[in-house]
Amino acid sequence: MTAGALLVENATKVFPGVKALDRVSMALNSGEIHALLGENGAGKSTLIKIVTGVYRPDEGEVRIMGKAVSFSSPRDAFAAGIGVVHQERNLIPRYSVAENIMIERLPTKRGLIDRGEMNRQASHWLAALDLAIAPEIPVNRLSVAQMQLVEIARALSQQSRILLLDEPTASITRNEIEVLFGLLRRLKDDGVAILFVTHKLEEVFALCDRVTILRDGRNACDGVPIADIDKRQVVAHMVGRDDALSDIGNRRANLGEVKLELKGVSTALGHRGIDLQVRKGEVVGLYGLVGAGRSELAKAVIGAEKITGGQILVDGRPAVIRNVRDALQRWRIGYVSEDRKQEGLILAHSVAKNTGITIWHRLGGILKLFTDKQERKAIGPFIQKLDVRTPSLDQDVGNLSGGNQQKVSVAKWLAAESEILIVDEPTVGIDIRTKGYLHRLIWDLAEQGVAVVLITSDLAEMVLLADRVVVMRDFRVIGDLPNTYNYEQMSRQIMGRIHEAKLDEEHEGGASAFQGA
Amino acid sequence: MLEALSSSQRLKTRFELLPVLVRAANVAGLAIVILLLVTIVASLAPGFLSPFNLFTLTRNLAIDTVIGFSMMVVLATGGMNLAIGSIGVCAIMATGYLLEVLGLPIVVSIAGGLAVAAILGWLNGILIVRTGIHSFVITLATASLYFGAMLILTKAEAFRELPAAFNALGKARFGPYSALLTVTFAVGAALLVLFKYSLVGRQILAAGANPVAAKLSGTPVERVIVVAHVLSGLCAGIAGVMVAARLAAALPSVGQDWLLPSFLAPLLGGTLLSGGLVSVVGTLLGAVLVTVLQNGLVLLKVGSFWIQFFLGLTLLVAVGLDRWRSVYVQRAGLKR
């Protein structure tokens, strides 16, 4: 290991009312992968923003290769050789994949953009990530996971000596994570300094060399070699006590009648012959790789996408679900979106309004007139039940931390008294404690008789929570496996199914819609 | 387990000062600017506080505020309505026709005019949600379409023989003030109830702030956008009928200069162009500012060219200040 590529010394950042960072230090060396951990609100994002020139520290300094630097904008950080994959999506939707990757240095020929060269260079980095998407596709046609990989490709293409990755694996699946990790290890061997922010501890132990942990804006530890620390200690550092990683326990599934049934459903998006049964009190997992059509299926069930064939039955009765309003009000189906910022929440509106939106139609009698007070009374219990940490119900949701935002986007469907709840990637980008809450909540809901469909790309989470795992690939259901709660075994079975289906398909010469190149 | 350990302490239901202050700063700032302006104008132009001037001023205010409301309702959805003036003049001519040619009672005629306005607003809404084309384009087109249709039907002839009782509405006083203000206050109160206490109003704001999230939460986004356009048309119609009463005639030339005031009042008042946030009181104050400014400049015998100039400047300064304030708030890290 060589000396400090990026050094943060005693950085302090104060926002009105909060000390986001309090004398935090971190030393990132060339040729290492360094984990930065902490719960939501611990100050990780603030630290990253200081290093990348979004914020200026009130005190303390940042050194790059030994030289003190003072960035006044993200461009300065970029110029100093820092590549970043931010937690938030930073792609320009209408631009092509190649344009997004190459945007900082578009190749030109006679003053005009050389599209051929641009696509060629972009393809190189897509290939490095094993990503089979055509560089000409506009970014808004990609799935969330593909977008995340494109962002990683962009950061890689800058060939920075310092690479910051803020939760790069939040919404990508295992295979893609493997590819990414392989690549990061190669970069490390080339001497790149890599800072890796994640909520997934397994990844830290699988990939990282040292770990810095923040808690409440302070260093809980600073650059401890991974060999000298175990999972329990890491968690203890993060939450300040060591019992937070409590086992979720066992669940005795108490299954009732079939609540939701899909019979040969096909959709305008390309689903064909989807059969699915979910009983009262059951947690059915939907697993699949990127582009398998899981979220899209969920949206079709709640009436947000068109169903072109087959039948949906609720309580054994055929259900015609024309729009989300029908799903919510008549059939009591709720959908917690994977994309809470765009689809799940109205960030500029208050906690109260975001939670109340699903129950407004029940308030205020015939005239549908009601006061804020009535709204609070109706939603208050759910906000409390989920332990949403907000200064008040009037706070804009956009000002809450990620974990609390996610709790609000779940709370509104609890308030709606959903009898069927589809939960899509519920714990992406969520800290351990909140994750634990949400896991327990999913089981509690099932125990209360709710039929739960769980969509997650985190196989460990799937194996932990689901009673049954339905495997999807290319908008079809290709397997239905009872959960043995044995991770290795389930992982082998599920991946086996997906692989078999892939081979079958290649055998038939069928090409999937999502793998153009 | 889920039993919140100390959530009751954390979840204070007290109201929070900062956002309230930030929001109030806008309205309070506007009120201060208005007071300053009134003081200046009143001291420079002694005629300002005369009963005659107060009457004219409040009559113009009554009308401009409702024009502002008409735009505000659509701004709430994140869209805009460039056809407000055309809808207004259609309502005027319809009312004039019903009064003069058909000789219908005043109440029925006004209702007829408002119905026409509501239908034209509804048509705007339907076109927007069915085609998915931005409201800017649709209402730019319908503004011309409605105006043209009105000219074809009326052959651009005014109705000048309106019943005296109708014309009296424009002259009605309430102390030194125009009685038309009561209509404006009634519309304002209704809108306040709509956006603060009603299902539809909240749904309009939700759809305006984030249509995708609103839709996925069961809000009938398309329907509430249509409702907003109907209300916008209705407000335009109300403003139109007030103008007809003021002029004691239904003139086909009215409405073509409504565009600027329709945007000025809500934008000065803090309504967001991007949707999801409206301020009824702010729109009223915005209209007060514009009306007082206009009136003051007239009294000070500043040429009407300059009035146009100053109105444009006011809008730029107001939105510029607002932009600066929000950037400042963000920089200071008030919003993390």
Residue that has been written with the tokens 């990348």 in this structure: A52
- Identify whether the C-beta of residue B51 lies closer than 8 Å to the C-beta of residue B176: yes
The predicted pLDDT at position A402 comes to: 81
B203 with A360: Cβ contact below 8 A: yes
CB contact under 8 A, A390 and B11: yes
The lowest-confidence range among A76-80, A254-258, B40-44, B189-193 is: A76-80
Q: Is B277 on the interface with A (CB under 8 A)?
A: yes
State which residue of chain A sits closest to B336, comparing Cα positions: A399
How far is A49 from A36, CA to CA, in rounded Å? Answer: 13
Nearest by CB: A324 against B7, B198, B215: B215
Tokens of B141: 């087109």
CA distance A514 to chain B (A): 24
Confidence of residue B134 (pLDDT cuts 50, 70, 90): very high
Burial A112-146 (b: 16+ CB within 10 A, else e): eeebeebbebbbebbebbebebebebebeebbbbb
| Cβ-defined contact of B1 to A440 (cutoff 8 Å) | yes
Instruction: Name the 3-class secondary structure at A176.
Output: helix
Residue in chain A closest to B272 (alpha carbons) equals: A348
Answer yes or no: do B197 and A346 touch at CB < 8 A.
no
Residue B7 has pLDDT above 50, yes or no: no
The CA distance from A492 to A167, in Å, is 26
- Whether A289 contacts A473, CB under 8 Å: yes
pLDDT at A516: 37
Instruction: Indicate which of A326, A392, A444 best probes the interface with B, i.e. most B CBs within 10 Å of its own CB.
Output: A392
Task: Name the amino acid, one letter, at A460.
Answer: A
The percent of residues above 90 in pLDDT, for chain B, comes to 72
pLDDT of residue B336: 35
Using CB atoms, pick whichever of A304, A412, A444 lies closest to residue B2: A444
Say which DSSP state A85 is in. E
SS (H, E, C) B4-44: CCCHHHHCCCCCCHHHHHHHHHHHHHHHHHHHHHHHHHHHH
B10 in contact with A at a CB cutoff of 8 Å? yes
The values of phi and psi at residue A87, to 5°, are -65, -40
- Angle (nearest 5°) at CA A78 between A72 and A83: 130
Query: How far from the centroid of its chain's Cα atoms is residue A230's Cα?
Result: 25
The whole-angstrom separation of Cα B105 and Cα B212 is 46
Contacts of A386 in chain B (CB under 8 A): 2, 4
Amino acid type, A37 = L
Read off the pLDDT of each residue in B298-322 and give the average, rounded to a whole number.
84
| Nearest residue of chain A to residue B212 (CA atoms) | A343
Q: How many CB atoms lie within 10 A of CB A448?
A: 11
> Which residue of A323, A343, A384 is in closest CB contact with B8?
A384
Q: What is the pLDDT of residue A98?
A: 92
In angstroms, the CA A452 to CA A466 distance is: 9
Where do the DSSP E strands lie in A289-403? 307-314, 317-318, 333-336
Residues of A with CB below 8 A from B1's CB?
440
Least Cα separation, residue B244 to chain A (angstroms): 33
Q: Distance between CA B134 and CA A300 in Å, rounded?
A: 26
For range B68-96, the mean pLDDT? 97
State which amino acid sits at residue A201: L
Cβ-defined contact of B19 to A385 (cutoff 8 Å): no
Q: What is the DSSP letter of B100?
A: I
The DSSP H or E segment spanning A328 is helix A324-329
Q: Specify whether the CB–CB gap between A36 and A78 falls below 8 A.
A: no
ipTM of the complex: 0.84
Which of B12, B210, B219 is nearest residue A392 as measured by Cβ atoms? B12
Q: Report the chain B residue with the minimal C-alpha distance to residue A335.
A: B216
Neighboring chain A residues of B218 at a CB cutoff of 8 Å: 324-325, 327-329, 357-358, 361, 416
Minimal Cα–Cα distance from B266 to chain A, Å?
A: 19
Contact B12 A324 (CB under 8 A): no
pLDDT at residue B10, as a whole number? 40
Separation in Å, CA B31 to CA B149, B156, B191, B287: 41, 41, 20, 11
Question: Could you tell me which residues come within 8 angstroms of residue A112 by beta carbon, excluding any fewer than 6 positions away?
Answer: none
Pick the more confident residue, A488 or B221: B221
Longest dimension (CA), chain B: 77
CB contact under 8 A, A399 and B336: yes
Residue B8 has pLDDT above 80, yes or no: no
Which residues in A lie closer than 8 A to residue B18 (C-beta atoms)? 16
Report, as an integer, the average pLDDT of B236-259. Answer: 95
Distance from CA of A183 to the nearest CA of B (A): 33
Alpha-carbon gap: A302 to the closest alpha carbon of chain B (Å) = 8
Q: Are strands A420-424 and A307-314 parallel, antiparallel or unpaired?
A: unpaired
CA distances from B154 to A118, A244, A343, B94, B233 (A): 60, 77, 48, 9, 20
CA distance A207 to chain B (A): 30
Q: How far is A441 from chain B (nearest CA, A)?
A: 7
- Whether residue B325 lies within 8 A of chain A, CB to CB, comes out as no
Q: What is the mean pLDDT of each run of 10 residues along chain A (517 residues)?
A: 78 78 92 89 85 88 89 85 82 90 86 90 88 88 82 86 87 80 90 89 91 89 90 81 57 87 94 94 89 91 94 94 94 93 92 95 89 92 89 86 89 94 88 85 93 90 92 92 88 83 61 40
Model confidence at B4, pLDDT cuts 50, 70, 90, reads: very low
Q: Do A304 and B336 touch (CB under 8 A)?
A: no
Q: Is B69 exposed, middle or buried (0-12, 13-18, 19+ CB in 10 A)?
A: buried
Q: What integer pLDDT is reported at residue A174 of this predicted model?
A: 78
Residue B203: closest CA among chain A residues belongs to which residue? A357
* Segments in chain B forming alpha helices (H): 7-10, 17-44, 51-75, 84-96, 106-131, 135-154, 164-171, 180-197, 199-209, 211-216, 221-247, 259-268, 280-299, 304-331
User: Which tokens sit at B236?
Assistant: 């335009």
B318-325 mean pLDDT: 75
State the count of interchain CB pairs (< 8 A) between A and B.
Answer: 139
* Chain B environment of A345 (Cβ under 8 Å): 210, 213
The answer to whether B216 contacts A324, with C-beta atoms less than 8 Å apart, is yes
pLDDT band at B330 (very low <50, low <70, confident <90, very high): low
Distance CA B73, CA A498 (A): 51
End-to-end alpha carbon distance in chain B: 30
Higher pLDDT, B114 or B299: B114
A370·B197 Cβ contact <8 A: yes
Across the interface, whether the CB atoms of B218 and A399 are under 8 A apart is answered no
Residue of A nearest to B201 (CA): A369
Residue B115's pLDDT band (boundaries 50, 70, 90)?
Answer: very high
* pLDDT of B334: 46
Q: Over the stretch A458-485, which tens digit does the pLDDT of each residue have?
A: 888 898 999 999 999 889 999 999 998 8
pTM of the model: 0.79
CB of B27 within 8 A of CB of B282? yes
How far, in Å, CA of B272 to CA of B77, rounded? 10
